[in-house]
Amino acid sequence: KAKQYITDGDVFQVVLSQQFHLPVSASALEVYRVLRSVNPSPYMYLLECEDQEGHPYHVVGSSPEALVTVYQRRVVSHPIAGSRPRGATPEEDQAHAASMSRDLKEQAEHLMLVDLARNDLSKVCAPGTLEVSQFMEVERFSHIMHLVSSVEGELTPEATSVDVFEAAFPAGTLSGAPKPRALEIIDELEPCQRGVYGGVVGYFGHSGDADLAITIRTVWMRDGLAIVQAGAGIVADSDPDAEYMETIHKASAPARAIAIANALEPDAR
């Protein structure tokens, strides 16, 4: 159905995700401790929250991707698109990286999301300051590797970090392009609300700085249930089986952390 919308011209890309429901006996702290070990990432977090009815839940995450960072009025976005599992040997790992870098579908998808990031930041950056400072470089994590770019610019005098958030959220890498129609298609095709998945964790500082991580590679926990959600970008020439496996690879690190934490702390709640 998503590919039909693309064929019909509704969108160029839409990011569809699925949820993995896992039993968890370990505490959120233990899951976080294990996740730090098995999947160290630029953003690590453990949050204790309440829903609208006052019921507690935990969010444990190891996100590799920032929505935006703002430091001394310079804003940076790091779109991630394109993935491969890590190889079992250095040679296999390098082969996976080369395959990803040469893949025309991955290149097209990545370029589309870099353009989307440039468009988002152009709303809050001074003319002539926006640049792509890093383009389609391979970055490796414990279970997966990605193609990563950096888009950055100087804020206009009147723009604030909140304006940057409003311009960039939700991330194109978690929604698609164009964003408004992609979000409508996601709402139609995904059977469950995303909850924390695809949101942000971070801060807005009194100085005007901000650092906002996208909540991916993240576990939602309550009452013995853990939910991990992962998605893949669908484009015109996507292979459904390959996109499905991409979601499995992306969810593997949090799922492994839960399994290890359960084994280490079997009676905890």
Dump pLDDT digits (tens) for 172-209: 889 988 989 999 999 999 999 999 999 999 999 999 99
Beta-carbon contacts of 159 under 8 Å, excluding residues fewer than 6 positions away, are: 124, 125
> Model-level pTM?
0.84
β-pairing, 131-140 vs 43-50, is unpaired
269 is catalytic: no
What is the pLDDT at residue 121? Answer: 93
Confidence tier at 27 by pLDDT (50, 70, 90): very high
Length reported for the chain: 269
- Asked if residue 30 has pLDDT above 90, the reply is yes
Taking alpha carbons only, the member of 234, 13, 5, 198 closest to residue 113 is: 13
More confident of the two residues 83 and 91: 91
Two structure tokens written together for 222: 């309550």
Check pLDDT > 70 for residue 89. Answer: yes
* pLDDT, the chain, mean: 90
Instruction: Verify whether residue 233 is a known catalytic residue.
Output: yes
The catalytically annotated residue of 33, 118, 197, 198 is 197
| pLDDT number for residue 266 | 57
Q: Which of 146, 153, 198, 199 is catalytic?
A: 146
Sequence-ordered alpha helix ranges (H) in the chain: 2-7, 28-38, 90-102, 104-122, 161-168, 172-175, 179-189, 240-264
Token pair of 125 as six digits: 């950056």
Residue 165's pLDDT is: 95
Per-residue confidence at 269, pLDDT binned at 50, 70, 90? very low
Q: Is the pLDDT reported for residue 215 higher than 50?
A: yes
What pLDDT, in 10s, does the model give residues 41-83? 889 999 999 888 889 999 999 998 899 999 999 999 988 877 7
Domains belonging to the chain, first-starting first, are 2-264 (3.60.120.10)
Q: CB under 8 Å to 209, separation ≥6 — which residues?
A: 69, 70, 71, 72, 161
**Does 21 participate in catalysis according to the annotation?**
no
Give residue 140's pLDDT.
86
The catalytically annotated residue of 78, 82, 84, 173 is: 173
The single residue of 43, 217, 218, 231 carrying the catalytic annotation is 217
Angle at 138 between CA 133 and CA 141, to 5 degrees: 120
**Band of pLDDT at residue 229, cut at 50, 70 and 90:** very high
Give residue 210's pLDDT band: very low, low, confident or very high (50, 70, 90): very high
Give the per-residue pLDDT at 268.
46
Question: Helix or strand or coil: residue 244?
Answer: helix
Mean pLDDT of all residues in 124-137: 91
